[in-house]
Amino acid sequence: MGFQEFLDDIPLLLLFLLSIVLLIIFIEAGFWVAQRPKRKPNKAQMAQVRAIMGASLGLLAFMLAFSFSMAQRHYESRTDAYLLEISAVDSAYRGADLLGPERQQAVKQLLRDFVALRRATSNALEADDFESVVKKIRMAEKIHDQLWSVAESSMAQGDSIDASIFVNAILAMVKANDERLQATVFNRISPIIWTTLFVMSMLSMIIMGFQAGLTGTHSRLATWTLAITFSAVMMLVTDLDRPRMSLFKMNEQLMVELQNRMNPTPVIVDDL
């Protein structure tokens, strides 16, 4: 199991609580180390530690902002690919009317099956059934192949002007599918960035606790507030980067509306 799979398997709330606990432990460790010497620190040492603490917290904030921006771009890429696929399927369904009568019904039924398969894939992803997700993606790709075979035969029969509209829609469907796979499976924050973020968080919390230990003042409220704040941001970054999101949900209403237009019997979704 890779790092990304391991991170995806951890529940978001558990990840949030673990992050809080670890940050507090690092702060307390830094405070304990500073309290061990019996001599009183001089002003130069205090100023140096304060400067290092400010720089480390600033770098940590920069890394969090950078990671959040990257995760948000990944989320937007998934959304854009989702909208592109809906538009392509809608165009293909309308373009099927320009084909010969013997192909129209078969193509429209394939497109209905494709949309239903996409809805089932989303439900399987929500249920953490990744084996079913992979199987349904393969089934969707087979439907792409069937649709492309129809497009090829339509172009070969000479009705190229009308069939080209359908062909372009099928090509757009294939492109949208590739972009969705790229955005969902491969566009992830690198494990190197996650490791760097964790190490920087650990060192920053230790330095902050060390500085508090030198001054001899230790605010529990400030410690918990800082730990919760940083953990909340890291939780948002994690959720935005995951294929299966908990806090940020992909709105499936457009796919449902498309399915309703393509099916004589409307599709009712309880959670929308």
pLDDT bracket for residue 22 (50, 70, 90): very high
Q: What is the mean pLDDT of the chain?
A: 82
Q: Is 127 helix (H, G, I), strand (E, B) or coil?
A: coil
Q: Please identify which residue in the block is written with the tokens 């439900």.
A: 123
Largest CA distance in the chain: 93
**Model-level pTM?**
0.76
CA-CA distance, 241 to 66, in Å (whole number)?
A: 13
- 53-106 pLDDT, tens digit per residue, is 888 888 988 999 999 999 888 888 888 888 898 998 998 888 888 777 778 888
In the predicted model, is pLDDT for residue 184 greater than 80?
A: no
Q: pLDDT (tens digit, 9 = 90+) per residue, 198-219?
A: 899 999 999 988 888 888 777 7
- The string of DSSP codes covering 26-72 is HHHHHHHHHHS--SPPPHHHHHHHHHHHHHHHHHHHHHHHHHHHHHH
3-state secondary structure 184-205: HHHCCCCHHHHHHHHHHHHHHH
Q: How many whole angstroms from its chain centre is CA 123?
A: 16
How much of the chain exceeds pLDDT 90, in percent? 11
CA atoms within 13 A on the CB side of 40: 2
* pLDDT value at residue 20: 92
